[in-house]
Structure 1
Amino acid sequence: MGNESVLSRWFPHGLAAAFLVLWTALAVNPVMRDVWWAENIPVMAAFLLLAATYRAFRFSNLAYALMACWLVLHTIGGHYTFANVPFDFITDLFGFERNHFDRLGHYSIGFYAFPIAEFLTRRNLAKPVVVHLFSLFAIMALAAGYEIIEWWYAVLAGGEAGIEFLGSQGDIWDAQTDMLCDTLGAVTALILFVFSGIKPERA
């Protein structure tokens, strides 16, 4: 095997190691520890699930890279709280009235449509049209479910923690815009999947 194959083989391990370094660094002195826990529970769950299932099903390197985007962005958001991530250069550059880092995080959630489509395709569990529709609708359902969880946590936590976790920044259409960002991320991921060349592993 050539050098490229060796690098490809160890790519997920290097990505996981780099993420763990970042996660550990950002776990120190977050802005609000209770919000940090609320934001990082899904991050830790997703990472541990991918690690536990690695031997049973190894996704493509592109799928792992796409999934890492959300892990990294959500970890950063958990440290600062999404509304307070240092993102002023983007806000000032485009003249935004709010910090849109959370929109970027939601967009990256949509990237998980790629591994969903990859799993269904490689295991030959559905035809291409169904694969794409299921992957898209799965992300849309996840997006709606997460908005409900955000609302539930904000009500239970109350006070500043609830407001920071919700991260609406006064936008009455925050939940709907977040779900749109999730959906657009999924559409982007599925377009990438079409050109990825991933095919069924068995008939």
Structure 2
Amino acid sequence: MHPTQSQTFPKILVALSAFYCAVFAFSAIEPSSRAVWIAEIIPAIGILVIIWWVSRHFTFSTLAYVLMFIWLCLHTIGSKYTFAEVPFDWFNQMIGSERNNFDRVAHFSIGLYALPITEYLYKKQLMTKWPAILFGLFAIMSLAAAYEIIEWWYAALAGGDEGIAFLGSQGDIWDAQKDMLCDTLGAITALTLFVMTQRKQA
């Protein structure tokens, strides 16, 4: 007898997905650039599908689900405005920056996926704790580098204002390197949380 959908999928995943649907609908209404929105929303939808697919046979912790949806929501909001134009003045003023740092925060949130990656490998007993932690860290760093290459490729292909909007470097020649650093810092933060939660459970 097959389990019902309500038994298969955790309530936190259903609730977060419902919230994300609202964010998605908001982002789809008159985005700054429809072409940029489509290009940015594709990876978000892809990740959402992967989360649901994996959750068919593996239940992540509540913390892991929350961390994964932070990036989904931030990235989807960025797709509406383009990352350089998201209304984020309160944060920029708080850190004393003239640059819009929404994209940096979004990159940091990508790093949070290191926790669910590590959690999956460890709980499925595919790796012991510390190899799983290192794999989670290096997976995020590799993904960060790959995304910057894809971003460069799309910007060069699209060209003009659309390419610049997608790239979102805001004139910073070290933008790609700083983005990858934010990804890595997010991963380190997430893995620190993983270690702390494992100690509490021990």
Q: Could you tell me which amino acid in structure 2 is paired with residue 112 of structure 1?
A: Y
The residue number in structure 1 matching 2:57 is 56
Does the aligned pair in 2 maintain the 1:82–1:102 contact within 8 Å?
yes
Q: Which residue of 2 aligns with 1:4?
A: none
Distance 1:188 1:86 in 2: 26
Distance in 1 (CA, whole Å) between partners of 2:107 and 2:192 is 18
CA deviations on 1:55-79 (whole Å, 9 max, x unpaired) are 2112111100000010000000000
Any idea what SS the aligned residue of 1:151 has? helix
**Are 1:79 and 2:80 matched, yes or no?**
yes
C-alpha distance after superposition, 1:138-179 (max 9, x if no partner): 000000000000000000000011001000000010000000
Change (3 A) 1:32 1:110: same
Residue aligning to 1:29: 30
In 1, the alpha carbon distance for the partners of 2:140 and 2:95 equals 28
Residue identity matched to 1:111:
L
CA drift at 1:52: 2.4
Native 8 Å contact 1:67 1:112 kept in 2 = yes
- Count of residue pairs brought into register by the alignment: 192
Distance in 2 separating the partners of 1:131 and 1:10 = 27
- Residue matched to 2:179: 178
Give, as a single letter, the amino acid of the residue that structure 2 aligns with 1:136: L
- Whether 1:118 aligns to 2:119 is yes
Task: Give 1:105's aligned residue.
Answer: 106
Q: Report Cα offsets for 1:105-128 as digits up to 9, x if no partner.
A: 000000000011000100111122
Contact 1:98 1:169 in 2 (8 A): yes
| Residues 87 and 101, structure 1, Cα contact 8 Å, conserved in 2 | yes
| Structure 1 stretches of 4+ moved >4 Å | none
Cα-to-partner distance string for 1:23-57 (whole Å, 9 max, x where unaligned): 11211110100000111000000011112232211
Q: 31-40 vs 190-199, which deviates more?
A: 190-199
3-state DSSP of counterpart to 1:196: helix
**Are residue 154 (structure 1) and residue 158 (structure 2) matched?**
no
Unpaired segments of 5 or more residues in structure 1? 1-8
Q: Give the letter for the 1:37 counterpart.
A: I
CA distance in 1, matches of 2:28, 2:53: 22
In structure 2, C-alpha distance between the alignment counterparts of 1:173 and 1:97, rounded to whole Å? 16
Q: Which residue of 2 aligns with 1:197?
A: 198
Q: Does the 8 Å CA contact 1:32/1:79 hold for their aligned counterparts?
A: yes
Between the aligned partners of 1:93 and 1:189, the Cα distance in structure 2 is: 24
RMSD of aligned residue pairs (Cα, Å)? 1.6
Q: Which moved more, 1:12-21 or 1:135-144?
A: 12-21
- For 1:196 and 1:94, the matched residues in 2 are separated by 30
Q: What are structure 2's unaligned runs of at least 5 residues?
A: 1-9
The alpha carbon displacement at 1:198 in A equals 8.6
- Aligned partners of 1:103 and 1:181 also within 8 Å: yes
Farther off after superposition, 153-162 or 127-136: 127-136
